[in-house]
Structure 1
Amino acid sequence: MRLGPILAALLLGGCAAPPSGGGGIVSTNPCVDSVLVRILPPARIAAISRYSQDPSATSIPLDVARRYRATAGTAEEVIALHPDLVIASTYTPPATQAAYARAGLKTLLLGIPDSIAESQAQVTQIADAVGAPAGGARINADIDHAVARWSRKDGPSQSALLYISGDLATGGSTLLNEMMTRVGFRNAAASYGLTHTGTVSAETIVTRPPAVVIASERVGRGTALRHRLLPNTPQAVFPRVLINCGGSTIPPALERLAAIRASVS
């Protein structure tokens, strides 16, 4: 991800009017972080998630993430910041949600989008909630452009098995599955019967091998095992930073998947 466009987006985000209260926005969701840093000036963001400062979990450049205060998402940390709005995951523990409510904090809970359309709707929801609809529209316009550019008209043909981490593969009914399909891949895990994220048996992989294996790491136990199981199958790297979230990650993710697809044509 290039830093130039991100800094430009931050400057443009400064045109948004700040919410009342002056406490800024606290995000405990790394996927929300990746939207906020592109549509709001730093002064509007009271804190981001600590996951955005973790190389294995972030979806934004680390040098950008480290400019912000980060929290572990505990109720005590968040409440102490007196934010105008807390944006968190629907998986936030009920006790934490209750603590936010008792403290009188306004909260927005977001789930995990399973499609490009759902991801774009979520970007709009975040942008509207923080008073920066134009920023959300810019991100969604970039997504629309990437979808138009990288979608293949001939439909999916080559099969691919995409591992998001270790031996966890992405199945059907996921955002990654849609992106794979758009660039011309058939998701092998979906054809094996995997509906979301899970493991695939070695027997299944060997019996019905994919045309390419895509993984988030170059080395590791999982990579070594797959090389032994499928010595003649190409292996491609799909950076972890492109796996964790949708939103503004979708354009570079589609571009990388399209490049892998072209390499196995």
Structure 2
Amino acid sequence: MRRGAILFALLLGGCAQSPGAGGGGGIVSTNPCVDSVLVRILPASRIAGISHYSQDPSATSIPLAVARQFRGIAGTAEEVIALRPDLVIASTYTPPATQAVYARAGLKTLLLGIPDSIAESKAQVKQIADAVGAPAGGARINADIDRALTRWSRKDEPSPSALLYISGDLATGGSTLLNEMMTRVGFRNAAASYGLTHTGTLSAETIVTQPPAIVIAPERASRGTVLRRRLLPTTPQAVFPRVLINCGGPTIPPALERLAAIRAGL
């Protein structure tokens, strides 16, 4: 964690001038999870714009002080084209009409999906790094992930059940990156046991009749938080910061560390 703080201090030092302010060249990302990789492997001068989500406290995976040094991109084709980037990295969920406009404008694009496992996340980091000509940077991120897996993985029994909420009443189920991280540190994903795949909601009856050993959720109070405390008044509650929920890649090591700390506290 201290190493990450030092890294971002260095990043801030390299962002003294507003990158991409004049337009022309560079990389534009409209994907906040791509942003978290780019700011670690590229000099600020090569990043022409990042997703506006990275400048939102509830959606970012990088410190706001870093994100706000860059031009925020809402994702409209007009603003992206105006920057004349060398490469646009976006989500596979980008509307087909926007993708078509990028193509007509002659922009080179890379569309990325949501990784459902640590292996997929590492492959995506490598794909991003290779696409922007910074393979060594991608290798460093993946090496950090491997070290974190070695340090925090545990296979001892029993595995207590945990219910992890990503926002409000949305829980993470099986076949997700968060599910793999939970199981790696020694939890059993209660939502997966209930039959929830990917992300979704759970009925109050299910939660009450098969209560988890612990509920994990972001620190922000919500209606869902209040309801869960009423339904499970004796079940421990743990905080998993929202900044660790949104993305994989370089977020995996601190996410594993936090989940392992929660597991160790049981």
TM-score, scaled relative to structure 1 = 0.93
CA contact 1:156–1:181 (8 Å) conserved in 2: no
Whole-angstrom CA distance in 1 between matches of 2:46 and 2:130? 14
Q: CA deviation at 1:6?
A: 2.9
1:4 to 6, 9, 17: 6
2:137 to 135, 138, 142: 135
Q: Which residue of 2 aligns with 1:62?
A: 64
Paired residue type of 1:45: I
Whole-angstrom CA distance in 1 between matches of 2:223 and 2:199? 19
Paired residue type of 1:200: L
* Larger deviation, residues 219-228 vs 195-204: 219-228
Q: What SS is found at the alignment partner of 2:234?
A: coil
Distance 1:140 1:44, change over 3 A: same
Distance 1:164 1:255, change over 3 A: same
CA contact 1:59–1:245 (8 Å) conserved in 2: yes
Q: Percent identity over the alignment? A: 84
- 1:1-48 Cα deviation digits (max 9, x unpaired): 643123447899xxxxxxxx9600000000000000000010000000
Q: Which residue of 2 aligns with 1:147?
A: 149
Q: Which residue of 2 aligns with 1:213?
A: 215
Paired residue type of 2:172: T
Q: What SS is found at the alignment partner of 1:60?
A: coil
Whole-angstrom CA distance in 1 between matches of 2:201 and 2:90? 28
Q: What SS is found at the alignment partner of 2:202?
A: coil
CA contact 1:10–1:41 (8 Å) conserved in 2: no
Q: Which residue of 2 aligns with 1:204?
A: 206
Q: Which residue of 2 aligns with 1:104?
A: 106
CA contact 2:12–2:66 (8 Å) conserved in 1: no
Distance 1:49 1:155, change over 3 A: farther
- 1:109-149 Cα deviation digits (max 9, x unpaired): 00000000000000000000000000000000000000010
Whole-angstrom CA distance in 2 between matches of 1:22 and 1:126? 20
Whole-angstrom CA distance in 1 between matches of 2:33 and 2:157? 29
Paired residue type of 1:162: L
CA contact 1:155–1:182 (8 Å) conserved in 2: no
Q: What SS is found at the alignment partner of 2:165?
A: strand
Q: What SS is found at the alignment partner of 2:141?
A: helix
Unaligned stretches of 5+ residues in structure 1: 13-20
Q: Which residue of 1 aligns with 2:180?
A: 178
Q: Which residue of 2 aligns with 1:40?
A: 42
Residue pairs, 1:110-259, within 5 angstroms: 110-154=112-156, 157-259=159-261
TM-score, scaled relative to structure 2 = 0.93
Deviating 4+ runs (over 4 angstroms): 7-12
Q: Which residue of 2 aligns with 1:81?
A: 83
Whole-angstrom CA distance in 2 between matches of 1:49 and 1:199? 27
1:262 to 257, 261, 264: 264
Distance 1:11 1:138, change over 3 A: farther
Counting matched residue pairs gives 256
Whole-angstrom CA distance in 1 between matches of 2:60 and 2:229? 27
CA contact 1:11–1:41 (8 Å) conserved in 2: no
Q: CA deviation at 1:217?
A: 2.5
Q: CA deviation at 1:221?
A: 1.1
Whole-angstrom CA distance in 2 between matches of 1:10 and 1:153? 39
CA contact 2:159–2:186 (8 Å) conserved in 1: yes
